[in-house]
């Protein structure tokens, strides 16, 4: 299950979906930002359905750290992240991750093109951070960029990734990191497909695929 913020005439409300893929990212730019529009009347009329879903949440096997965390209303109002940050020492990361995962996510290395098994993954599901389990990308936005790295045209929620300027090479790039644990994921470029025109070029080692049930 996953939490999504809805913006309606009455203000901000928060509700649950049964899976990250249950809301269609293709339904406009608001879905790309992880936000769905819902007016007050439709929200109130759907109260019974919402309650049933909420009651089922605790026993749902899909409600794991790899699912999009439920947004916190008070945190959103003060501009805070909708999830708790994950912070570990270098020694802890080394113990948790494989040597390759550590190099990619904590030391900002880059995997060889065409080396990731995720390039060939076409199943429906969610691509989560290998370090902290935060949902990062939906299979609905995955596309073959021809670059040799898993590529997406949008994150599953804008708040789940953050960007930094990368000047490590002669050409300035935009680095993409997990917003929860600051893991290096890859880079984003402006040569992607519609509707965003973006190409999130990710290291497959930095991601783990969670297949939809």
DSSP notation for 50-96: HHHHHHHHTT-TT-STTSPPPPPHHHHHTT--SS------HHHHHHH
Q: How much is the average pLDDT of 179-200?
A: 97
**pLDDT exceeds cutoff 50 at 29:** no
- Give the range among 79-83, 160-164, 173-177 with minimum mean pLDDT: 79-83
**pLDDT exceeds cutoff 60 at 44:** no
In this structure, what are the phi and psi dihedrals at residue 43, rounded to the nearest 5 degrees? -70, -45
- Rounded Cα distance, 196 and 159, in Å: 16
For the four alpha carbons of 123, 212, 17 and 203, in that order, the dihedral sign comes to negative
Task: Using alpha carbons, select from 130, 137, 128, 181 the residue that is nearest to residue 32.
Answer: 137
Task: Using alpha carbons, select from 195, 188, 208, 35 the residue that is nearest to residue 125.
Answer: 208
- For residue 80, the model assigns a pLDDT of 56
- Give the range among 15-29, 78-92, 94-108, 128-142 with minimum mean pLDDT: 15-29
- What DSSP string runs through 148-160? SS-EESS-SSGGG
Please tell us whether the domain made up of 90-211 is placed in CATH 2.170.150.20: yes
Domain layout of the chain by residue ranges: 2-77, 90-211
CB hemisphere CA count around 140 (13 angstroms)? 17
Question: From edge to edge, which strands make up the β-sheet containing 161-166?
Answer: 142-143, 151-152, 199-202, 184-189, 173-178, 161-166
pLDDT-based confidence at residue 18 (cuts at 50, 70, 90): very low
On whether the CB atoms of residues 128 and 137 are closer than 8 A, the answer is: no
Q: How much is the average pLDDT of 111-140?
A: 97
Q: How much is the average pLDDT of 186-209?
A: 97
**pLDDT exceeds cutoff 80 at 92:** yes
pLDDT averaged over the chain? 74
For the four alpha carbons of 20, 25, 28 and 31, in that order, the dihedral sign comes to positive
Of residues 7 and 150, more confidence is placed in 150
- For residue 82, the model assigns a pLDDT of 76
pLDDT-based confidence at residue 187 (cuts at 50, 70, 90): very high
Q: What is the largest CA-CA distance in the chain?
A: 57
- 197 dihedral zone (left: phi>0; alpha: psi -120 to 50; beta): left
On whether the CB atoms of residues 155 and 200 are closer than 8 A, the answer is: yes
Lookup: tokens for 71: 């947004």
Of residues 59 and 87, more confidence is placed in 87
pLDDT digits (tens, 9 = 90+) for 127-170: 999 999 999 999 999 999 999 999 999 999 999 999 999 998 98
pLDDT-based confidence at residue 23 (cuts at 50, 70, 90): very low
Active-site residues: which are they?
Answer: 201
């Amino acid at each position: 299950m996953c939490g999504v913020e809805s913006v309606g005439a009455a203000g901000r409300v928060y509700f649950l979906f049964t899976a990250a893929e249950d809301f269609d990212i293709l339904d406009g730019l608001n879905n790309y930002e992880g936000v769905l529009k819902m007016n007050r009347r439709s929200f109130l009329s759907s109260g019974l359905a919402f309650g049933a879903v909420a009651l089922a949440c605790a026993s749902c096997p899909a409600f794991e750290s790899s699912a999009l965390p439920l947004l916190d209303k008070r945190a959103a109002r003060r501009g805070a992240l909708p999830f708790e940050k994950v912070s570990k020492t270098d020694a802890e990361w080394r113990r948790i991750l494989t040597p390759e995962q550590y190099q990619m996510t904590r030391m900002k290395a880059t995997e060889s093109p065409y080396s990731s098994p995720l390039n060939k993954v076409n199943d429906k599901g969610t691509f989560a951070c290998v370090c902290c389990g935060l949902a990062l990308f939906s299979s609905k936005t995955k596309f073959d960029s021809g670059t040799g790295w898993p590529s997406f045209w949008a994150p599953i929620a804008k708040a789940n990734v953050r960007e930094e300027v990368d000047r490590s090479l002669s050409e300035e790039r935009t680095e993409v990191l997990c917003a929860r644990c600051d893991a290096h994921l890859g880079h984003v470029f402006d040569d992607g497909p519609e509707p965003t025109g973006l190409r999130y070029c990710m290291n497959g080692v930095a991601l783990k695929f969670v297949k939809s049930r």
